[in-house]
Amino acid sequence: MTSFQGKSALVLGGSRGIGAAIVRRLAADGAEVTFTYFGARQAAEQLANETGSTAVLTDSADRDAVIRRVRESGPLDVLIVNAGVAVFGNALDLDPDAIDEMLKINVHAPYHAAVEAARLMPEGGRIIVIGSVNGDRVPFAGIAAYALSKSALQGMARGLARDLGPRGITVNVVQPGPIDTDANPADGPIRDLLHSFMAIKRHGRAEEVAGMVAWLAGPETDFVTGAMHTIDGAFGA
């Protein structure tokens, strides 16, 4: 366990799945955690009660709302951008508006949130974005735009690491493989396909991802920045 006593953390997209596991972990380790939700109000309120964190409604597809939320959080020691959606299917058939909405949530929001957080972030600050192993590997059809959104985060992290390194702020991407959440249930229809690419043939647990995030957010990683951290049972190997 890492102590986050006295640290302030904002998790964008914390109401369910991986984000909720990150909220639980950081709160259990002593951080003062605020997290955003959009659709899952009840789950967000329950999680806030359970963990002593604060839930706030913010649509990650709304750039100005995201920037406002980060600004209103004041100086953050840790920013986690987890909110993400997946639009899968034949690229020739998918609705272009749905693709653009995904890019707003998965790409625009992380960038603008990171830049806004950096304005007030103290030395030792941590910016962590949840990408995907699909930023590195796309072993089947139908996920081109999602993969685009996740590989975009790689360039962002590399660039912002250069921008913010002189101030002692690190920027990293955590790249999960299949993780058991509402978005990708362990008993879902593509389970066997997903497991066929893996050395460890199971879905990961959200808590396993939260453990990696907690390490990156903690005090041992001053020298870890501009890097992708894959946790995927060797899906991408």
Q: Which stretch binds ligand NDP (CB under 6 A): 24-32, 76-84, 115-123, 215-223?
A: 76-84
Question: Site size for ligand NDP, by CB under 6 A?
Answer: 31
- Nearest residue to 115 (alpha-carbon basis) of 67, 168, 183, 58: 67
CB 200 within 8 A of CB 233: yes
Residues ≥6 apart with Cβ < 8 Å to 222: 124, 168, 170
The yes or no reply on residue 156 touching ligand NDP (CB under 6 A) is no
The yes or no reply on residue 193 touching ligand NDP (CB under 6 A) is no
Q: How far apart are CA 136 and CA 147, in angstroms?
A: 8
Show the binding pattern over residues 16-35: x = contacts ligand NDP (CB under 6 A), - = does not: xxxx----------------
The yes or no reply on residue 73 touching ligand NDP (CB under 6 A) is no
Q: How far is the CB of 188 from ligand NDP (least distance, A)?
A: 10
The yes or no reply on residue 125 touching ligand NDP (CB under 6 A) is no
- The count of other CB atoms within 10 Å of the CB of residue 97 is 8
**Binds ligand NDP by CB under 6 A, chosen from 4, 73, 84, 136:** 84
Considering beta carbons, is residue 63 or 124 the nearer one to ligand NDP?
Answer: 63
**Which of 4, 37, 146, 197 does the annotation list as catalytic?**
146
The yes or no reply on residue 38 touching ligand NDP (CB under 6 A) is yes
Q: Which stretch binds ligand NDP (CB under 6 A): 11-19, 46-54, 114-122, 217-225?
A: 11-19
CB 62 within 8 A of CB 50: no
**Binds ligand NDP by CB under 6 A, chosen from 3, 39, 49, 95:** 39
CB 192 within 8 A of CB 223: no
Q: How far apart are CA 179 and CA 162, in angstroms?
A: 30
Please report how many Cα atoms fall inside a 13 Å half-sphere around the Cα of residue 227, on the Cβ side: 11
What crossing angle do the helices spanning 17-28 and 41-51 adopt, rounded to 10°? 20
| Residue at 155: amino acid letter | G
Q: In what order do the strands lie in the sheet with 78-81?
A: 54-57, 32-37, 8-12, 78-81, 126-130, 170-176, 227-231
Q: How far is the CB of 83 from ligand NDP (least distance, A)?
A: 4
The yes or no reply on residue 82 touching ligand NDP (CB under 6 A) is yes
**Binds ligand NDP by CB under 6 A, chosen from 178, 226, 233, 236:** 178
Catalytic positions are 146
| Interface positions with ligand NDP (CB under 6 A) | 13-19, 36-40, 44, 59-61, 82-86, 105, 130, 132, 176, 178-179, 181-184
